[in-house]
Chains A and B, each alone.
Chain A
């Protein structure tokens, strides 16, 4: 198998596993459909915005939970935003972690919230590294002169 075919197979296998393991859902597929020759970097651009936004949200959440008197409405607002942005790019496990987080905000449960924040951070760092790997594979395919396979 030549280099391009090998890379393409790697890409397909890797993408498939991300969907199978629930890291990404159909919304990520929808994102890719919005990319074309006139907007060739659309997915990377949106995902980069997501990374920036998420890091801010995680910091805001950490500091909100460290306050003497925790403002759960504010915490909930941040989690809602995080849930929204992860849902918009198809980061399913992050979204689900946010859903669980909101339940603890409703219950004004500090310990629960702290645990949820850890879980959200964990899922976020996982999906971030997986997406970065995926994008790297794409770059390698393009550099080798191949085209990126479209998953059916």
Chain B
């Protein structure tokens, strides 16, 4: 199991950044790229869900739990972490967080919330809903450095479960999972 450490460094982590401000998107993208992450930026919660392969036409801006079944579009890209602004027109970062956590295929993706407003009740709500971190804007390099442990933990977890599935024969054996 110690060899799993080697697999973790394999491919670049891919971060999806969600912010309606073009300036903040540019900033977070640069910060993430400096940390050697692959970055995709979108300007709304809806675009984020679309990118993640979750089409939710009827419930776009509603408070209802999203309909998340195994029939949603299989997304082509792997996303290792989602970082989103809290206050956005339409779907807030909190709404997006909730929809992600309600979806079985997305809920394990770590989510981080950013906000320019330091409101303790808001921060607690987000953390209780499953956000890993809450960053105050403007986001600094020190904040982005906090993302790595969450990314590593998730990748280790994924690799471990893939390995277990292979051992149990429910998944074809892949050489790279044994390196």
Which residues on A are within 8 Å of B, measured CB to CB?
A: 27, 30-31, 33-34, 39, 42, 45-46, 49-50, 53, 77, 80-81, 83-85, 87-89
Is the CB–CB distance between B116 and A83 below 8 Å? yes
CA distance A85 to B116 in the complex (A): 10
Per-residue A-contact encoding for B22-40, CB less than 8 Å = 1, 0 else: 1110110011001000000
Is the CB–CB distance between A46 and B23 below 8 Å? yes
Is the CB–CB distance between A88 and B24 below 8 Å? yes
Which residues on B are within 8 Å of A, measured CB to CB?
A: 21-24, 26-27, 30-31, 34, 87, 89, 116, 137-138, 140-141
Is the CB–CB distance between B140 and A30 below 8 Å? yes
**When A34-B31, A80-B87, A81-B21 are in contact, do A87 and B26 touch as well, CB less than 8 Å?**
no
Q: Enumerate chain B residues within 8 angstroms of A87, measured Cβ to Cβ.
A: 116, 137-138
Which of A27, A33, A53, A80 lies in contact with B22, CB distance below 8 A?
Answer: A53
In the complex, how many residue pairs between chain A and chain B have their CB atoms under 8 Å apart?
Answer: 45
Q: Enumerate chain A residues within 8 angstroms of B26, measured Cβ to Cβ.
A: 45-46, 49
A-B contact pairs, 19 of them (CB 8 A): A30-B141, A31-B27, A33-B141, A34-B27, A34-B34, A46-B23, A46-B26, A49-B26, A53-B22, A53-B23, A80-B87, A83-B116, A84-B21, A84-B24, A84-B116, A85-B23, A88-B24, A88-B138, A89-B23
Is the CB–CB distance between B89 and A77 below 8 Å? yes
Which of B31, B34, B137, B140 lies in contact with A84, CB distance below 8 A?
Answer: B137
